Each structure stands twice: as C-alpha cells, then as structure tokens.
Chain A
Amino acid sequence: MKIRISRNISYIIVAFIALIEIGVIWWAADYNRPPAMEVTSLALTIGIVTAYFLMDLGRKTELGGRDERVELVNSKSALRTLQIFWIMSFSILLGSIVRFIDFSRDIRRAIFGPIFGQLIMLVGVILLFVAFRIYYNNKYGGYDTDEESD
C-alpha cells in the first residue's frame, strides 16, 4: 500500500516530533540519572529517523504535483518565514538581555555570552541573505552590462 501524505501535514507532524524531543530532553535534564541518557538517545534517534521518512514521504507526494505555482508558494512562504523568524528572534533575544544580564557586573561576559552569540548569528543571517541575493541576481542576469552602453 502506497502511503501519501501532504507536505504541510508532514511539516506539522515533524514539528510535533520536535516538541516531543524537547520534552524528553527537558525530562532527562530534570531526572538526571540512568536511564535518562539512554532514553534521550533512543528518543532522538527514533525522532530523527521518523522525521526523515515523513519529510521524504511529503516530498515524494508533492513531486507529482510540483509546478511553478507551487515553487512560487514555497519561495514566498520561505521568505516570509525568514522575515518573521528574524524579527521575533531579535526581539526575544534583546528582551532576554534586558531581563537576565546584569550589565553593571561585567559587560564582557554579556558581549561574549550565548545571547549575544545568537544575536550575531542573526546578523549573519542578513549577510547570508545578501550573499544569496547577489548570487541569484548574478545568475539571472542582474549584473549583465547593457550592450547599448558598451
């Protein structure tokens, strides 16, 4: 029997698997004695393998119905997700700095701490986005010289 699953459903199930994994890790950190490590490893392995098969199933289902409109939907969704993800992450991280870091104690610890690391990664995302824009602009003729102005 051939199992068919839409790509959206596969994404949603994978998101729930990720939530369960977070729950297992949370439990393991809290429990902190055997067999927490073994259970976590097993849960992570099962989760990753299941997620891989679900994504593959979703991809195969969509391949039959993949065309230019689906590509447009995917690229617009991806760009909008990136924009919202960036704004939310930046806001939450800045909020975390104000909430948890004691600036009067040692500013260097704050600058090189994990929150600042994540903020720098977000800046990296913008640079990566610009790099891809340059690459695709070049690929699709954005930097070609005008023959009439030569």
Chain B
Amino acid sequence: MKNRIKVFRAMHDLTQEGLAKELGVTRQTILAIEKGKYDPSLDLAFKIARYFEVTIEEVFTYGE
C-alpha cells in the first residue's frame, strides 16, 4: 500500500516525531508506514487522514 504521508507532513511542516506524538504512536511506526514496511490499521489510517483533514484515499493508495 502506497501513501503520501511524507508529502502531507511536509505541507504541514511536521516531523515524523511530531506526527507520531499527535497520533499517539512511535516515530518508528510513522517511519515504517512511510517506507511501506507496515500497513497501518484502519483506525490509525483514519486518524492520519483526519489529522491532515483529507480523505483516507488521498493519503493511502491500495496496490502493490
């Protein structure tokens, strides 16, 4: 699953650590999601999308 978290982070001028704190997860989790090594749960995916005030499809794209 591809994602645009890095782009949205840059748009909000936010570090991985900052986003992790806002979402209540570890920095390593944000890093793993951005690198595509870990697919977040629906709950976390929605939290990320809501934090950036966009739809989930704008952040995550399903596919290999």
Contact = CB atoms under 8 A, between A and B. Distances in A.
A68 B24 CA distance: 10
B14 interface: no
A68 B41 CA distance: 8
Contacts of A66: 26
Nearest to A62: B26
Interface of B: 24-26, 28-29, 32, 38, 40-41, 43-44
A69 B28 CA distance: 9
A65 interface: yes
Interface residues of A, number: 7
Interface of A: 65-70, 72
Contacts of A69: 25-26, 28-29, 32, 38
Nearest to A69: B29
B32 A67 contact: no
Most buried by B among A65, A66, A69: A69
Q: Which 8 residue pairs across A and B have the least CB separation, nearest first? A: A67-B25, A65-B26, A69-B29, A68-B41, A67-B29, A69-B38, A67-B26, A69-B32
6 contacts: A68-B40, A68-B44, A69-B25, A69-B28, A69-B38, A70-B29
A72 B29 CA distance: 11
A67 B26 CA distance: 7
B26 to A, nearest CB: 4
